[in-house]
Amino acid sequence: MKHSVPHDLGQERAKKVAESALAAYAQKYSSYNPTVTWTSTNRAELSFKVKGMSLSGVVEVLERSIDLDIDVPFLLRPFKSQALGVIDSEIQEWIQKAKAEGLPASNP
């Protein structure tokens, strides 16, 4: 399942948004055993378990988009559009939050 969410934050600031969001969700959904491993400056591998199934994917933070590619097991594919809607709205919420804070990209 590939999905891209556009942003206008720039790559550095968008990465900080992605890091914050992923850390918050790892804590909030700890019962799903989430893992996030940054394999390069702007690419993270994720995995978690839902209903006894393992899901994995990649998040890549680009200059103008945050791209996701998640391997969805066959049994969960009927929920794909619903999941994309939730993912998109969550990322947009984090982007708006970053804009509201008004912090420049170089701030921690």
Total-model pTM = 0.77
In whole angstroms, give the CA distance from residue 49 to residue 30. Answer: 10
| Pick from 89, 103, 91, 83: nearest CA to 60 | 91
Domain residues of the chain, as ranges?
Answer: 2-97
- pLDDT digit string, tens, across residues 4-25: 999 999 999 999 989 988 888 8
Q: Is the distance from CB of 67 to CB of 2 less than 8 angstroms? A: yes
Dihedral sign from CA coordinates of 20, 32, 29, 99: positive
Continuous segment of H or E residues that includes residue 59: strand 53-61
pLDDT value at residue 23? 86
What's the CATH code, domain 2-97? 3.30.310
